[in-house]
Amino acid sequence: MGARLVADWPAKALSLAAAFLVFLFYHLNRLEERFVSVPLSVVQGEEYVPSTMLPRSARLTLKGEPGALVTILEEDLRVSVDLSGAKAEGIAHAPLTVERRGSALGVDPLEISIDPAEVTVNLERKATKIVPITPSFRGYLSPGYELSTFDLEPAQAEISGPAGAISRTIDLSTDFIELTGRTSDFEAEVRIFPKDPLITVAGKQLSRFRATVQEAIEYRRFDGVAVEIAGLAEGFALAEAPPLCSLRVQSSREQLRDFILPANAVTLDLSGIKRAGIYNLPLVARLPEGFAIDSVTPESVAIRVIPSPGGTR
């Protein structure tokens, strides 16, 4: 019996090997492939960080039983590159690794290949600093309105990244703040972000924007305005009438549109004059409520006060 088992053993061994290869080939042919794109997670060091962009994702090729492959969730495959061990600035080569979690743990057989298999990155010393936050606006307020004041809280944030990029960064931007059609005060929470993707922002990366909206202030100039004399004591007169002046008025567009300048808008107060002579006195402008004086030209005038005809002074 034993003699029959070992007889022609080379031929039997070859047959057994051939059968195994046929089985293996059949089994491998039953495996299917599935392609997925997974975000690339970067583990950075405390002292050196990338100064060139890394791929945002990696392409995985999964090979396994057809029924098992479809059960794997993409979020259960984590692809990462570890740069935490960097000891100096310069070019570094680092492999990508895959971590199987959740639905990917119980799948067998499962072959995973990564493209790219490694990354090449330039490393630079890490730097941090605090920069202001600048709001970004979109659209326009309703006609006749303007932003009176606005502020952000916080108004600045800490950023970190490669030293070169940090030195070039002077501020952070916000998401667009919509102004279209607004006529009243408003506030909004907005996201803040750096213009350079190599830079990260510490904290919540959110800021509270508050704005005060008011009717737009406009200006209107009135020329050739007569100056009204007030307070001239009895027995005195002016040698000549004061020169005409110009007045620049500010108010809302709506109020200025139909505004008529009062006859006594600009006066020259002579109530303090007790004797004849030459005086340089300021012009005084007064307007109805809702209107303000932006400027009076000239601001003062020289006048000559004389005794009035038939006066006793």
pLDDT in tens, 78-103: 999 999 989 999 999 999 999 999 99
Q: Check residue 148 and give left, alpha or beta (phi > 0: left; psi -120 to 50: alpha).
A: alpha
Looking at the fold, whether 26 and 42 belong to one and the same domain comes out as no
pLDDT grade, residue 217 (50/70/90)? Answer: confident
The mean pLDDT of the chain is 89
In a domain, 312, yes or no: no
Lowest mean pLDDT among 20-24, 59-63, 76-80, 215-219: 20-24
* Residue-number span of the structural domain to which 7 is assigned: 1-30
**Rounded CA separation 144/148 (Å):** 12
Q: Classify residue 47: in a domain, yes or no.
A: yes
pLDDT by residue (tens digit) across 149-186?
Answer: 999 999 999 999 999 999 999 999 999 999 999 999 99
Residues with Cβ within 8 Å of residue 214, at least 6 apart in sequence: 145, 146, 148
Q: Which two tokens stand for residue 195?
A: 């213009």
Note if the pTM is more than 0.85: no
Residues 211 and 221 reside in one and the same domain: no
Residue 122 lies in a domain: no
- Segment 4-12 shows an average pLDDT of 54
Together in a domain, 203 and 249:
no
Please indicate, yes or no, whether residues 51 and 61 belong to a single structural domain of this protein.
Answer: yes
C-alpha closest to that of 73 among 108, 119, 38: 38
Q: Max Cα separation, the chain?
A: 164
Nearest to 111 by CA among 69, 55, 58, 78: 69
Is 306's pLDDT higher than 80? yes
Core vs surface per residue 295-306: b (16+ CB within 10 A) or e: ebeeeeeebebe
d(Cα 86, Cα 88) in Å, to the nearest integer? 6
Q: Is residue 80 part of a domain?
A: yes
Q: Evaluate whether residue 189 is within a structural domain.
A: yes
- 19 and 69 both lie in a single domain: no
Structure confidence at residue 140 (pLDDT) = 94
252 assigned to some structural domain: yes
Residue 121 domain flag = no
> Which of 95, 116, 137 is a domain's end point?
116
Tokens coding 171: 């501020």
- At 34, list the tokens: 């599935």
74/3 same-domain check: no
Q: How many domains does the chain have?
A: 4
Q: Specify which residues 129 forms β-bridges with.
A: 159
pLDDT recorded at residue 9:
57
Return d(Cα 193, Cα 131) in angstroms, integer: 12
Q: What is the CATH number of the domain that holds 284?
A: 2.170.120.30
Which pair of structure tokens corresponds to residue 120? 């090449």
Last residue of a domain, one of 93, 116, 139: 116
Q: What is the pLDDT of residues 269-283, one digit of tens each?
A: 999 999 999 999 999
The reply to whether 313 falls in a domain is: no
